[in-house]
Structure 1
Amino acid sequence: MINETKEKALEREIKFDQAFELVKNEVDRALSASPHIVRKYTKHLASSMGKFIRAVSLLTCSEDRDGLIPPDAIKFAAAIELLHLATLVHDDVIDNADLRRGEITLQKKYGKRTAVICGDYLLCMAVNLAASVPNKQDYLDLEMPDYMSRVCLGELNQHINNGNFDLSVLQYLKIISGKTAALFEASFYGGALLSEKNPDMLKKYAKIGKYVGMIFQLTDDCMDFETTEQVAKKPVQSDYEQNVITLPLIHAFREKDEFKQKAKNGIITRDEINDTVLSTGGLKFTRMVAKKYYEKTLKLIESLDAAAGKKSNLKSILDKAYRVF
């Protein structure tokens, strides 16, 4: 009876709350009902799912003027979450991370090789799920493989620039526009495709998603300096230790050349990093950049041809990305 209700819901437009539950059920089903050989690992991942902010974004953007969500949005949102999960599994391998969302990481518990293969499997699951929508044109228009490639290229660009103490602000923004912002852009654009036909409006949704992703990453950059592992539920004070150069540190290097030279020589401590980032205004600068994206995003949301409730919900997502400022 319950399955019949879900199937009927997937055949008609529904309200947000029901759609969100269906997305979570779809992700849980995909992870818990994987082939036996991989099920132990995907079940472990199912126990530590996040807040589904990308799914929320996609569902919100797919709402029509009556606040109803089309069926294809359910599978698209679930696919985006699986794709995001795959990137996290791979990130944890690269970073040798022990903790993710308060739980032990897959690579820590089962080993790096297993984690890499499981991450690859999740990528395949995400594409298959998105492609399973009845209206195949919706999947083709989403261009999900293109977004996946942008995420991968962003990650590779970051890896190539690990330990690059001369990394510029523009170079860094280009990196995060791929590795973080591309998936947010896919979420906003994918949802809008299901509710909006005006090409100019679709471009605005895509840009809103990109900007939200940029803000989200810049917020995360500051959190690495400002919060605890207990609050973040993942390792903090660790970007530099992983040779990842983020915006607060880039600004500190620009403001204090002798500090950059010491970093190049490998003789700076974590306390010195924290003190210098603070004294040179690295966090303040990062907040300023995030605020510029925030203000541009607000203007774009206001310019959308959408119901007031939908605009309000989009602003709420924006505020969550801007959460520590």
Structure 2
Amino acid sequence: MGEAMEKLTYEEAYELVKEEIQKALTRSPRIINEYLTHLSASQGKMIRAVSVLICAGDGEGKIAPGAVHAAAAIEIVHLASLVHDDIIDNADLRRGQETLQKKYGKRTAVICGDYLLSLALKMLAAVPDRKEYTDIDLPDYISRLCLGELLQHINNKNLNLTVFEYIRIISGKTAALFEASFFAGAVLGGSAAEDIKKYKKIGNYTGLIFQLRDDCLDFDKTIEEAKKPVQSDYEQGVVTLPLIRALEKRPDFRKKAEAGEIVRADINRAVQEAGGLDYTKEMIERYYKKAKRYIDKLDVTEEKREKVAAIVKKAAGIKA
């Protein structure tokens, strides 16, 4: 796609993002092609790519071709993070498909995850305007994602983890890439500097909301509904917000947890009795209201405002 190419409709841009990701995964060098082709069979909902495209839309909803490269690159970074997550968690299932590490082994999966990160940077470099490419600074967001994952790992089984510390973890491991998506779209859509700052805030809040909702999923969904293992966070040593609330509110439960005497049924009961899910959903509502305030201040058409708001609503599980 050249610089002179005309702007695209949202539908055209979305299809091109899917094509670019599919092409990158299935037309990779022969030595790695089988592994990446396996990943291509289970594309997700692409909420990060959608965020890039929506935020890049002009007054008529048309999208600059560069946004396609950015959206595809960010989705590939996300895919790389999932590959690495599955290795750490020893997960068998992702998006209803066998994970790369389960099918081909951990060593192969690690290398494939690393390759995907290099592929993402190559895709972003295809953005026609060099200044816009450097403005987005995807490597910085990848660093934040990695540091968030490391911080989570360092705090594995930390029963003294505070709410503040937990928010700091998910600000990196989940929210950073959402912020990058909104930021990239705003930059490539030619938004004013003040609006770009607002988009970054909205993206960050959307990421926090997305992760907190996922924390709830670990307690109130089945594997069939989630298409991935559920009720497994604590088994992996991951302490999430509903559990933090239970540990704060139930000293008897904390004592048993510290002694290593709890099973999954104890966790579910303590979270329910301490209102852990309700507390997490209240946090989601709080971040949603913060995001909404920034959305209301954007200098955009009402149609675009509604589209941006719809992304946040989807992350929060609010029906539009």
Superposition RMSD on alpha carbons, in Å?
A: 1.2
Q: Which amino acid aligns with 1:62?
A: A
The equivalent of 1:210 in structure 2 is 204
Alignment partner of 1:158 is 2:152: yes
Structure 2: which amino acid aligns with 1:67? G
Aligned letter for 1:220? D
| Unmatched runs of 5 consecutive residues or more in structure 2 | none
Q: Which amino acid aligns with 1:152?
A: C
Name which of structure 1's ranges 279-288 and 255-264 shifts more when overlaid on structure 2. Answer: 255-264
Partner of 1:17: 11
Matches within 5 A, 1:19-168: 19-168=13-162
**Identity score, percent:** 54
Contact residue 219 and residue 324 of structure 1 kept, 8 A: no
**Which one of 237, 243, 246 corresponds to residue 249 of structure 1?**
243
In 1, distance between residues paired with 2:134 and 2:268? 46
Match of 2:288 among 269, 294, 301: 294
More divergent stretch after superposition (21-30 vs 259-268): 259-268
For residues 191-270 of structure 1, the aligned pairs below 5 Å read 191-270=185-264
Task: Check whether the contact 1:255–1:280 (CA below 8 A) recurs between aligned residues.
Answer: yes
What does the per-residue CA deviation read over 1:261-299, in whole Å, with 9 as the maximum and x for residues that have no partner?
211111101011001100100001000111000011111
**How far apart are the structure 1 equivalents of 2:232 and 2:70?**
33
Deviation at 1:8, TM superposition (A): 7.4
Residue 165 of structure 2 corresponds to residue 171 of structure 1: yes
> In the comparison of the two structures, how many residue pairs are matched?
319
1:198 positional shift: 2.1
Maintained 8 Å contact 1:99/1:233: yes
Offset from partner CA, 1:101-122 (integer Å, 9 cap, x none): 0000000000000000000000
Aligned-pair CA distance for 1:72? 0.4
Do residues 311 (structure 1) and 305 (structure 2) align?
yes
How far does the alpha carbon of each residue in 1:111-153 deviate from its partner, in whole angstroms, 9 at most, with x for none?
0000000000000000011012221111100010000000000
DSSP 3-state at the match of 2:168: helix
Task: Tell me the TM-score normalised to structure 1 length.
Answer: 0.96
Shift of 1:9: 10
Greater CA drift, 310-319 or 149-158: 310-319
Cα shift readout 1:215-260 (whole Å, capped 9, x = no counterpart):
0000000000000000000000000000000000000000012211
* 1:12 CA displacement: 1.6
SS at match of 1:61: helix
Report the CA distance between 1:315 and its aligned residue. Answer: 1.3
Give unmatched runs, 5+ long, in structure 1.
1-6
Task: Output the CA distance in 1 between the equivalents of 2:70 and 2:149.
Answer: 23
SS in 2 for 1:50: coil
Asked whether the equivalents of residues 3 and 128 of structure 2 are also in contact (C-alpha less than 8 Å), the reply is no
Question: SS at 1:64's partner residue?
Answer: coil
Shift of 1:10: 8.1
Q: Deviation digits for residues 42-79 of structure 1, max 9, x if unmatched?
A: 00000011011000000000000011000100000000
Q: Distance in 2 between matches of 1:324 and 1:318?
A: 8
Structure 2 distance, partners of 1:292, 1:112, is 39
Counterparts of 2:127 and 2:286 in 1: how far apart (Å)? Answer: 37
Letter in 2 for 1:130: L
CA contact (8 A) 1:10 1:74 kept: no
Other structure's SS at 2:148 match: helix
Q: Which amino acid aligns with 1:298?
A: K
- Aligned-partner Cα distance in 2 for 1:234–1:198: 40
Letter in 1 for 2:246: A
CA contact (8 A) 1:10 1:71 kept: no
Cα pair 1:227 1:236 within 8 Å, conserved: yes
1:30 offset after TM fit, Å?
0.2
The separation in 2 between residues aligned to 1:50 and 1:10, in whole angstroms, is 31
In the alignment, which residue of structure 2 is the partner of 1:4?
none
